[in-house]
Amino acid sequence: PVGDDPIVRESTRAGPTPPPEIDGDKNRSVVENTRVVGTFTATDDSTSAGDFAWRVSGGDDEARFDISAGGVLTFFVAPDFENPGDVGGNRVYEVEITATDDGTP
């Protein structure tokens, strides 16, 4: 079965230049027993595509997630549709991710 994955909230941090924007769909579905939520990208007029720092920065279920330097968001432990582990027990996992750049033009 397919369960709902995290509601990903976008968070960016500003420097002297406008902050990066996280691209793509923020709501994703994940197949049960799968750890990978998806790969996120960000855009910024002053930063190359691979030059962002990523981190899990909030959300009710943030402790269940990790994000790689390349923007790949994963569960630490794959979700089980029959036994949801999210806050609220409704199979909707909420996590906030942040992309930052060095803030220089």
pLDDT tens by residue, 33-42: 899 999 999 8
pLDDT tens by residue, 56-95: 999 999 999 999 999 999 999 999 989 999 999 999 999 9
Query: What is the β-pairing status of strands 21-22 and 42-43?
Result: antiparallel
Query: What is the β-pairing status of strands 42-43 and 53-58?
Result: unpaired
Instruction: Give the fold, CATH level 3, of 2-100.
Output: Immunoglobulin-like (2.60.40)
Instruction: Quote the pLDDT of residue 45.
Output: 74
Q: What is the DSSP string of 41-93?
A: -EE-TTS-TT--EEEEEE-TTGGGEEE-TT-EEEESS---TTS--STTSSS-E
What pTM, to 2 d.p., does this model score? Answer: 0.79
Q: Sketch the domain layout of the chain as residue ranges.
A: 2-100
